[in-house]
A and B are shown apart, each in its own frame.
Chain A
Amino acid sequence: MSTHSSRLAARLMVAPSVALLLVWMIVPLAMTLYYSFRLYRLISPERAGWTGFTNYVWFFQSPDFWLAMLNTLALVGGVLVITVVLGILIALLIDQPVKGQGVLRILVIAPFFVMPPVAASILENLFMHPQNGLFAAVSMGLGTQPILFLQDYPMWSVIGIVSWEWLPFSTLILLTALQSLSSEQLEAAEMDGAGAFSRFRYIILPHATRAITVVILIQTIFLLGIFGEIYTTTQGGPGSASTTLPYLIFKQAIVAKDIGRAAAGGIIAVILANVVAYFLMRGIGRHLDA
C-alpha cells in the first residue's frame, strides 16, 4: 500500500532520530578513538602527544585485562541466568490465582525503583557487612561464622546485587507474557494428561520465548556497562577479583586520570559489546520479529 509519498514521509520522520543518535554515537566515539592514540593524563597535561598503540598494548598486557573480560561475561551471564530462571518461576507463582495479586506485584517491582548506588550501598552495609549486616546476624544465630561476602565471594556478591535490581524487570515482562497465554490451551493439555512439567516445557516455555529474548537483549545492553555497583561495594577487589572491563576503564579514567588509556579501553569495550551483540542477534534475534 505504501505509496511513494508515504515512503518519503516515513524517511523524513525517521531522520531526526537517526541523525541525533548518529551524532550522539559518532562524536564521542571519534573523540574517544582520537584520545586512544594520545598520551593524555588529566593532571600532567604538559606530557601530551601521539603514542601509537601504547594505550592498547597496556590494556592487553595488563594482568587484569583477561580477568576483567571474564568477569564482565560472568556478570552479564550470571545475572541473565538468575533473573530469567527466577523470573519465570516467580511469574508462574504470581500468575496463579493467589490472594492480593495487586499488592504482590507491587512488592516484586519495588527493587526496580531503587537507584543503583542506593541498592548497592544498602545491600552492602545493611545485609552483607560481616559485623553489622543482617546476614551476619543470621549466621551467628545459626552458630556459624559470618560469610565474608565481599572478601571471599566478591563476584557473586556483585552478581547478587545486580540480579536483585533487575529481577523485577524480567519478572514483569515474563508475567505479562504468561498472562496472555490462553487458559483453554493449558486446560486442553491437562485433559490430554500432560503433567505439570510437560505443560511447562511444551506450552508455557515456547510461548514465553519472545519475552525471554526481550529480557536478554535489554538486560545485556544495560549489564555490559555496569560499574557503579562495583564501585560502591568491592571497588573491583580484593585484588582484581571483581574487576570488570567497565570498572577497569573507570579506574584509568577516574583514579589514574589517564584519559588515553581509558579511551583505548573504551574502544575495546565497544568492540566487545558489538561482538556480544552479534552473537546475541545470531542466537536469539530470530525470535524477535515475525
Chain B
Amino acid sequence: MARAQSPRRTALMTLAAWSVALIIFFPVLWMILTSFKTETSAVAMPPEFLSADWTLDNYVEVWARSDYPRFFWNSVVISVGSTLLGLVIAVPAAWAMAFVPGNKTKDLLMWMLSTKMMPAVAVMIPLYLLFLKLGLIDTKIGLVIALMLMNLPIIIWMLYTYFKEIPAEILEAARMDGAGLWNEIVHVLTPMAIPGIASTMLLNVILAWNEAFWTIILTTTKAAPLSAFIASLSAPQGLFYAKLSAASAMAIMPILILGWFSQKQLVRGLTFGAVK
C-alpha cells in the first residue's frame, strides 16, 4: 500500500520507524557489545559505551572451555533433520487436506494443533522413560524425532494454508494430461509451493534451534546441541556477564545470520494463509 507522500512526512516516518526498530534490536546489540568487554567493564556503572575496555578474551575463553563445533554441528543436524523429516511426513498430509478436504478436515487440523498444548514439564518423566527404553537418550535421531513431532502440527498447518491458495484447476489440468498422483505432487504442486515450503522450513529450523528444554533433558554428550552449550556457561562463579554474552552470541549467531539472509523468504511465507 505504498503511496506518494510528502518528503517531510517520509523523513519523519523514517525517523520513527528506525527508532522503534533500534529499540527492539537494542538488547541484541547490547549483548554483542558486552561480549567484547572485560568482565569489570561489562558491569561498570554508569555503563560504558565507547570508553569500554574492549577485548576478545571472552570468545577465546569460551572457545577453549567447550567444544563449540560439536555443539554447533549437533544443533545443525537436529534442527535441519527434524525439519526435513517433518516435511516428508507433512507434505502428503497437507496436500490431502487441501485438495481432498473432508467435512472433518478443519477439526483434524485443530486437533493436531492442540497436541502442542500439552505442557512439556508434565510429560517430562514419561517421555524420558520412553526414550530410555527405546535407547534414544543422547542420540541425534532421538532428538530429530522428538522435535519433528513437536513441530509437525505447525508444519502441516503452514503447508496446508499454502496449498489451499494454489488453484485446484491447475492440478486438475495436470491430471487431465495423465499425470499420476506422485507426478502431480512432485512436478506440479511442489514447484508452485516452493516459497511456502521454504518459509515453513525456515520457521521450523528456528523453532528447533531455539528449543531449550527437551534438548537438554534428552542429551548428555554425543547429541547435545547449543542449548546445552549455553547451560554449561550460564551462572558460574563470579563475574560472568561478558562471557555469558559471548557464549550467547555464539549460540544465536548462526541462526541470526541464516534468518537475516533469508528474511524475505521468511516474511513471504509467514502468512499462515492469513493473506487473501
Contact = CB atoms under 8 A, between A and B. Distances in A.
Given A105-B263, A249-B119, A122 B248 contact: yes
Given A97-B5, A100-B18, A115 B118 contact: no
Given A98-B10, A107-B24, A126-B34, A173 B2 contact: no
Interface stretch (A7-15, A46-54, A234-242): A7-15
B227 interface: yes
Interface residues of B, number: 94
B120 A225 contact: yes
Nearest to A185: B1
Interface string B147-184: 00100111010000000000010001000000001000
A180 interface: yes
Contacts of A162: none
B100 A10 contact: yes
A194 to B, nearest CB: 14
A56 B268 CA distance: 46
A134 interface: yes
B119 A245 contact: yes
B101 to A, nearest CB: 9
B130 interface: yes
A16 interface: yes
Interface in B246-276: 248, 251-252, 255-256, 259-260, 263, 266-268, 270-276
B116 interface: yes
Contacts of B89: 16-17, 20
A172 interface: yes
Given A97-B3, A126-B245, A211-B275, A175 B16 contact: no
Contacts of A99: 10, 14
Contacts of A148: none
19 contacts: A9-B96, A10-B97, A28-B126, A31-B130, A35-B126, A109-B259, A116-B210, A118-B230, A122-B27, A126-B30, A210-B276, A217-B113, A218-B272, A221-B113, A249-B119, A253-B124, A254-B121, A266-B123, A273-B114
B52 interface: no
Interface of B: 1-3, 5, 10, 13-14, 16-18, 20-22, 24-25, 27-28, 30-31, 34, 43, 45-47, 89-90, 92-93, 95-97, 99-100, 102, 106, 108, 110, 112-127, 129-130, 149, 152-154, 156, 168, 172, 181, 206, 209-210, 212-213, 226-227, 230-231, 234, 241, 244-245, 248, 251-252, 255-256, 259-260, 263, 266-268, 270-276
Given A116-B212, A118-B230, A186-B1, A172 B267 contact: yes
Contacts of B1: 95, 178-179, 181-183, 186
Shortest beta-carbon contacts, A-B, top 10: A266-B122, A13-B92, A10-B96, A31-B126, A273-B117, A10-B100, A211-B274, A17-B93, A28-B123, A107-B25
Nearest to B22: A107
A181 B1 CA distance: 6
A176 B255 contact: no
Nearest to B154: A218
A109 B3 contact: no
Interface of A: 1-2, 6-7, 9-11, 13-14, 16-18, 20-21, 24-25, 27-29, 31-32, 35, 42, 90, 93-100, 102, 104-119, 121-123, 125-127, 131-132, 134, 136-137, 140-141, 164, 167-169, 172-173, 175-183, 186-187, 210-211, 213-214, 217-218, 221-222, 224-225, 227-228, 245-246, 249-250, 253-254, 259, 262-263, 265-267, 269-270, 273-274, 276-277, 281, 285, 288-289
B42 to A, nearest CB: 8
Given A21-B149, A96-B13, A263-B122, 15 more contacts: A13-B93, A18-B93, A24-B115, A25-B115, A28-B123, A28-B127, A108-B25, A109-B260, A112-B206, A118-B252, A186-B3, A214-B272, A221-B113, A246-B120, A277-B117
A110 B47 contact: no
A262 B210 contact: no
Contacts of B259: 109-110, 112-113
A43 to B, nearest CB: 13
Contact of A126 (B13, B27, B130, B266): B27
Contacts of B25: 107-108, 110-111
Nearest to A42: B125
Contacts of A117: 212, 227, 230-231, 234
Given A21-B152, A173-B274, A176-B275, A274 B27 contact: no
B118 A104 contact: no
A167 B34 CA distance: 23
A106 B263 contact: yes
A13 B95 CA distance: 8
A61 B14 CA distance: 55
A253 B126 CA distance: 11
B271 A96 contact: no
Nearest to A208: B274
